[in-house]
């Protein structure tokens, strides 16, 4: 072995571990390089990992704070091909993860907090200090729940205000609850809660639902679900000691009239927004905040000899 080869072997970057962003006793800031890194561990991230692994690209998937994505808090999934009966969201995501690992994907439990996409290779930093570089980056960070934005919502968040019926519905067994929204998410939340709560009131600012017709039909058959159209939440009311919700004040969007509805829980289901904030400074996005794919362009000052032989790619997967 010549001296140059020996030097290269000594400086070879660390490989990522399946359980942590570093291996053995290597420091957390040790550099990890991969041909392809995927950020996000929802269905899009696992699908990208499966195809990349089968293409022999040796992908590394960084899972983030919420491995499995939104399906981890979904009770029944009935619109995924291949299953005659509804399946649990958690089980489905466990199967996707196992399949991705089986074909050769390396899983890293870390959360990316900083990206440098105007250099080659691309550089990422985890919240524990670990640094990752890659030739190709796939962004599959999915989306997060939207909130109403009221100060009272923030006050009672976690104490009567939630964005996940599957997560928190159990705490309202035998109590009245309110669901805010008119799309698939809101109707599905209401249907789930109707088995737990004594009464479910759906509040929607429009005069009709945007949810799929089959879901609307199921909704209308539930005797303990009440619909309030043309209203929006004006304020969430409750006690301070202990902190809990007792009422929600609604405002008629056409007349401005106010009315109070008794409730112990408010479930906000007004949609989701792309979790793309980390990349806004580096990538262009649409008005809906979805990122646009682009190829890396070496800076003008970069010598020809140091330019990459193939242009690295940033790919984005819409939520």
- Name the active-site residue from 167, 207, 260, 302: 167
Sign of CA dihedral 211, 290, 148, 171: positive
Residue 302 annotated to the active site:
no
| CA max distance for the chain | 83
CB of 101 closer than 8 Å to CB of 45: no
Residue 168 annotated to the active site:
yes
Buried b or exposed e, range 247-269, using 16+ CB within 10 angstroms:
bbebbbeeeeeeeebebbbbbbb
Residues 116 and 111: their CA atoms lie apart, in Å, by 15
Residues 242 and 158: their CA atoms lie apart, in Å, by 13
Residue 30 annotated to the active site:
no
Which among 261, 257, 230, 231 has a CA at the least distance from the CA of 248? 261
- Name the active-site residue from 14, 110, 134, 168: 168
- Name the active-site residue from 14, 134, 164, 234: 164
Q: What are phi and psi of 3, to 5 degrees?
A: -65, -35
Q: Which residues are catalytic?
A: 164, 167-168
């Amino acid at each position: 072995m010549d001296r140059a080869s020996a030097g290269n072997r000594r400086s070879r970057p660390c490989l990522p571990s399946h359980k942590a962003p570093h291996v053995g006793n290597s420091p957390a800031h040790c550099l990890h390089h991969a041909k392809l890194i995927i950020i996000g561990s929802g269905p899009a991230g696992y699908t990208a990992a499966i195809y990349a692994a089968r293409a022999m690209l040796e992908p590394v998937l960084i899972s983030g704070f919420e491995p499995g994505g939104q399906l981890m808090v979904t009770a029944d999934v009935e619109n995924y091909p291949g299953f005659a009966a509804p399946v649990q969201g958690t089980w489905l995501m466990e199967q996707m993860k196992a399949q991705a690992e089986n074909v050769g994907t390396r899983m890293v439990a870390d959360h990316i907090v900083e990206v440098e996409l105007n250099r080659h290779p691309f550089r990422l930093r985890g919240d524990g200090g670990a640094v990752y570089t890659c030739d190709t980056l796939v962004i599959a960070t999915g989306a997060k729940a939207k909130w109403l934005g009221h100060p009272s919502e923030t006050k009672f968040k976690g104490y009567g205000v939630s964005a996940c019926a599957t997560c928190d519905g159990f705490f309202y067994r035998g109590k009245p609850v309110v669901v805010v929204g008119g799309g698939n998410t809101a109707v599905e939340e209401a249907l789930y809660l109707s088995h737990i709560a004594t009464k479910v009131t759906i509040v929607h600012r429009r005069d009709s639902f945007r949810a799929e017709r089959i879901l609307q039909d199921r909704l209308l058959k539930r005797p303990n679900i009440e619909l309030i159209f043309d209203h929006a939440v004006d304020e969430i009311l409750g006690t301070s000691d202990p902190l809990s919700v007792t009422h929600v004040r609604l405002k008629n969007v056409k007349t401005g009239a106010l009315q109070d509805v008794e409730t112990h829980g408010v479930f906000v289901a007004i949609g989701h927004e792309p979790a793309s904030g980390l990349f806004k400074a580096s990538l262009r996005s649409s008005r809906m905040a979805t990122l646009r794919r682009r190829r890396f362009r070496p800076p003008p000052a970069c010598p020809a000899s140091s330019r990459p032989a193939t242009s690295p790619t940033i790919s984005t997967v819409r939520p």
